[in-house]
Structure 1
Amino acid sequence: MFCMLRMSALRLVWVPVLLCLTHAWLCHGVCVEVDSDTEAVLGKGFKLTCISCKMRGETQASATVDWWFMAKGEAEFTQIYNYADMRGYIMDDHFTDRLHWNGSKNTVDVQDGSIYILNVSYNDTGTYRCYFDRNLFFSNYEFHTNDTKFITINVVGKATRGLASILSEVMMYVSIIGLQFWLVVEMVYCYRKIAAAGEEALRESEAEYLAVTAASKDNCAGVAVAE
């Protein structure tokens, strides 16, 4: 009984967690800003993540996104990409046929302005600037806002694992091992409780049986004496 209560309590703890995770996946109303990676691998593809979270609601709006690039060792930015009216334009010959839009699609109110670079080269090392220009249209006026994000990437010949990634993996394994150990302890504890309860029930049954047997013998002895 005690073990059943503990298992029921565990279910009560896990159910809200699972519901929260499920709703997190199903919910599309929350915009979460995601930092871009900062290490690109030579010859591979690389995504430059740029998200501008603005509450859109029922207000009509439109946005354009401009990307600029300043190579390592240079002092000025050069425009490399423009996205407006659901169309993208490569502005620098260095990125011809290598830049692709990887952000919001089929909407003029862009919130995700990410781009994707194909076949990364060492010359792509440097600082990238993502510039959002956004207009919100109200009945009596127009509101203008903008947002700028900077991303510095380094191109390497082979992918390396960062300290954060290693620590995350270690913590994951530690959590798994800890959970398994806890489950084993719970199973052993419950097994011992059940075994102890069974032994107690067996002793009570034996005691009752011996008491009944003794009573029967006493009755038989009394009948024999009476005869």
Structure 2
Amino acid sequence: MSALRLLWVPVLLCLTHAWLCHGVCVEVDSDTEAVMGKGFKLACISCKMRGEVPAFATVDWWFMAKGESEFVHIYSYANMSGYIVDDRFDDRLAWNGSKKTNDVQDGSIFILNVTFNDTGTYRCFFDRTLVFPKYKYRTDATKFININVVGKATRGMASIFSEIIMYVSLIVLQLWLLVEMVYCYRTIAAAEKIPRASVSKKSLKPKA
């Protein structure tokens, strides 16, 4: 029975690693160039430092138009629902982040029908609470995105580099998962051979 229990240890480790990789979070910078009349995604991702700890978060977006000196609250997301605060963005902002969960790590929003007045600096603010067994820990994260609206799309090097980094990170994580699965498989196979070998040795012993 003890040998059987030992066999389950690597299996559980494999399942744990697979789950962690499945829910991987990668922080990618937002594009900074929007095109007049098109849609544009304001990307804002804030990964938890402790992925295994349950949490809940709210996200608020602020905007400082070009030529202005103060940020204005434009959008708020909490309890799996969002609402537009600033009249300038009525019917033009939509949630594009984490779905069906209060444990928000992707706080991105989408601007519909971009105008030149949308040029400026956007501030994304995460207010997160980590729920430990005996206490709660509150933390926050702020990101700034400078958006320039142009009449015609011109993809910049920063956008290309960010996309490359994202794909490389995903490939590395997939390879790491594959290595872990192979290691677990070999561990299980080796553990299964030990009881069989001991039984074979016992059967070869001469009877008294």
TM-score, normalised to structure 2, is 0.64
- How far is 1:121 from its partner? 0.1
* Residue 86, structure 1, aligned to residue 80, structure 2: yes
CA–CA separation in structure 2 for the residues paired with 1:161 and 1:80: 27
CA–CA separation in structure 2 for the residues paired with 1:88 and 1:80: 11
Aligned to 1:153: 147
Q: Give the direction of change, closer, same or farther, for the CA distance of 1:32–1:163 in structure 2 (3 Å limit).
A: closer
Query: Percent same amino acid at aligned positions?
Result: 77
Aligned length: 143
Aligned to 1:195: none
Aligned to 1:187: none
- How far is 1:28 from its partner? 2.2
Q: How big is each residue's C-alpha offset from its partner over 1:106-137, in whole Å with a ceiling of 9 and x where there is no partner?
A: 00010000000000000000000000000011
> What does 1:10-21 correspond to in 2, within 5 Å?
none
- How far is 1:30 from its partner? 2.4
Aligned to 1:207: none
Where do 4+ consecutive residues of structure 1 move more than 2 Å?
Answer: 27-30, 55-60, 161-167
* Residue 109, structure 1, aligned to residue 80, structure 2: no
> What does 1:62-211 correspond to in 2, within 5 Å?
62-163=56-157
- How far is 1:141 from its partner? 1.3
Q: Give the direction of change, closer, same or farther, for the CA distance of 1:86–1:163 in structure 2 (3 Å limit).
A: closer
- How far is 1:31 from its partner? 1.3
Name the aligned partner's letter for residue 65 of structure 2. A
Q: Decide which structure has the larger Cα Rg and report it.
A: 1
CA–CA separation in structure 1 for the residues paired with 2:120 and 2:95: 20
Structure 1 or 2: more helix by fraction: 1
CA–CA separation in structure 1 for the residues paired with 2:157 and 2:54: 43
2:88 is paired with a residue of what secondary structure?
helix
Q: Which runs of 5+ in 1 are unaligned?
A: 1-26, 168-227
TM-score, normalised to structure 1, is 0.59
Q: Is the 8 A contact 2:31 2:159 kept in 1?
A: no
Name the aligned partner's letter for residue 144 of structure 1. R
Q: Relative CO higher for 1 or 2, CA cutoff 8 Å, sep ≥ 6? A: 2
**Equivalent of residue 60 in structure 1, options 21, 33, 54:** 54
Name the aligned partner's letter for residue 137 of structure 1. V
1:34 is paired with a residue of what secondary structure?
coil
Q: Which runs of 5+ in 2 are unaligned?
A: 1-20, 162-208
Q: Give the direction of change, closer, same or farther, for the CA distance of 1:71–1:165 in structure 2 (3 Å limit).
A: closer
Name the aligned partner's letter for residue 141 of structure 2. D
Aligned to 2:202: none
2:22 is paired with a residue of what secondary structure?
coil
Bigger Cα displacement from structure 2, 50-59 vs 73-82: 50-59
CA–CA separation in structure 1 for the residues paired with 2:101 and 2:159: 35
